[in-house]
Structure 1
Amino acid sequence: MKEQKQKHKKDKTKEEKTINKWKVAFLALLGLILGLSAFFFFRATQQREAIQYETQPLVQREGEPVLSVNSNKEQINSLIDFYLQNYQENSDVEYHFQLENQALLTGDFEILGAPITFYLYFDPYVTDNGNVQLQADSLSVGTLDLPVKQVMRMIEKSFKFPEWIEFDPDEEQVLVRLDQFRMENGLFVKAEKINLVDDDIQVSLYLPQDKEK
């Protein structure tokens, strides 16, 4: 009888130790989940200092264009790749932009030391003054559920963009300021039409004002 009591006591002690281990593991997991939730909530609601863009001189694109170009996504993607390779040559982090049935911006940034790949899709629109407005449509960030506004703020702060690219995370928009962009040969560009589904892209080229005379 005494041996049975001792055995029962040992079994009970072992069972209590097992329960305690599971309890500790559960509490640790719960704490991790709560901590991550608090972190993402803090990052999503944190007030950030607004980035001030330097006002670039506007390009004078008056008169008739010297050349109108009909292009397609493959040709434009080749130009974008060539430009970004040179622009990001000395950058530690890289992003990619390409045209599919939507415009796609993709790259990597770190959250809690872990690399996260994002895929941000935009619908492009030509504005009245020939610029291009990219309206965010959908976002993929692995298994994370993050708001578009927050990811756009992180992208804006993590990557180097040309001065004529303006982010507006609150409106979930990116504005391609072609009226502030000049090609190396001095030509100016104005967007006329962007229809990605039908693969129809039209732009006009303008000579510098002093060369039009």
Structure 2
Amino acid sequence: MNVWKAAFFSLAGLVAAALVVLIILIGGTTASSPLPEDTAKQDEGYTLALNTTKKNFEGIANTYIRKAVKGSLPVELEMRDDVLLTSELTVFSYTLPLAMHFDPIVREDGNLILKQSSMELGDLNIPPSTVLKLLKNSVELPSWMIVRPKEEEIFIDLEDLPISGDVQVKAKEVNLAQDEIILEVLIPKN
């Protein structure tokens, strides 16, 4: 056998093995991070109800996301009839646009769960859980955003938002169809 043939088949075998290992690493499901316990205690304080619109909430959310991500990757949140999270992922030196659609769910403790309804990653057909796993592993997200690939959701811990003082924020209602978002702000007594 020719030396060049042997080298070619060896190289082809190494490339195939690397692809198999990459597919196993990306496709394997890992345990999702546990959600924080409902530790919200009703401190004595003053409660302020905030009614806001999708546009205002979008601006506030993007401000916190930009501060937390610190320009490492462009992540934008857009409020429509659903919540749209856009970014880009680099795979094999190709930058692919990423658009994930979520339905917001308000938990009893006032935190938000963004349940994934659909996603687009360039022209690729990849399961949503895999895209969330890639997002979790490639982007350093703030501690108040917990990506849970297995459940196809992102948990937003409003209690962990970096707000000055001991101010706590809770979501009361998110009605995107009616353009109504109600937040509750608790300002503790000193």
**TM-score bin (small chain):** 0.7 to 0.9
Tell me how far 1:56 sits from its aligned partner.
9.3
Give the 3 Å change call, closer, same or farther, for CA 198–39 of structure 1 in structure 2.
farther
1:125 aligns with 2:72: no
Q: Which residue is equivalent to 1:79?
A: 60
Separation in 2 of the partners of 1:55 and 1:199? Answer: 29
2:67 is paired with a residue whose SS is helix
1:70 is paired with a residue whose SS is strand
- The structure with the greater share of residues assigned to strand is 2
Q: Which residue is equivalent to 1:196?
A: 176
Q: Which residue is equivalent to 2:117?
A: 137
1:68 is paired with a residue whose SS is strand
Q: Is the 8 A contact 2:66 2:75 kept in 1?
A: no
Tell me how far 1:46 sits from its aligned partner.
3.1
Q: 1:45 aligns with which of 24, 27, 30?
A: 27
What is the count of residue pairs matched by the alignment? Answer: 175
Give the 3 Å change call, closer, same or farther, for CA 52–197 of structure 1 in structure 2.
closer
Separation in 1 of the partners of 2:162 and 2:93? Answer: 38
Give the 3 Å change call, closer, same or farther, for CA 108–63 of structure 1 in structure 2.
same
Tell me how far 1:177 sits from its aligned partner.
1.3
Partner amino acid for 1:75?
N
Q: 2:47 aligns with which of 66, 74, 93?
A: 66
Q: Is the 8 A contact 2:145 2:156 kept in 1?
A: yes
In structure 1, the gaps of 5 or more residues are 1-30
- The structure with the greater share of residues assigned to helix is 1
Q: Which residue is equivalent to 2:129?
A: 149
- Structure number with the bigger relative contact order (C-alpha 8 A, sep ≥ 6) is 2
Larger Rg, first or second structure (1 or 2): 1
Runs of 4+ aligned residues of structure 1 deviating over 6 Å after TM superposition are: 53-57
Q: How does 1:85-104 map to 2 (within 5 A)?
A: 85-89=66-70, 91-104=71-84
In structure 2, the gaps of 5 or more residues are 1-11
Tell me how far 1:57 sits from its aligned partner.
9.9
Q: Is the 8 A contact 1:95 1:159 kept in 2?
A: no
Q: Which residue is equivalent to 1:171?
A: 151
Give the 3 Å change call, closer, same or farther, for CA 55–69 of structure 1 in structure 2.
closer
Separation in 2 of the partners of 1:118 and 1:197? Answer: 24
The TM-score with structure 1 as length reference comes to 0.71
Separation in 1 of the partners of 2:149 and 2:22? Answer: 17
Separation in 2 of the partners of 1:139 and 1:195? Answer: 21
Give the 3 Å change call, closer, same or farther, for CA 65–123 of structure 1 in structure 2.
farther
Give the 3 Å change call, closer, same or farther, for CA 78–42 of structure 1 in structure 2.
same
2:66 is paired with a residue whose SS is helix
Q: Is the 8 A contact 2:32 2:150 kept in 1?
A: no
Give the 3 Å change call, closer, same or farther, for CA 185–175 of structure 1 in structure 2.
same
Tell me how far 1:63 sits from its aligned partner.
5.3
The TM-score with structure 2 as length reference comes to 0.79
Separation in 2 of the partners of 1:130 and 1:54? Answer: 13
Q: Which residue is equivalent to 2:138?
A: 158
Q: Which residue is equivalent to 1:10?
A: none
Partner amino acid for 2:171?
A
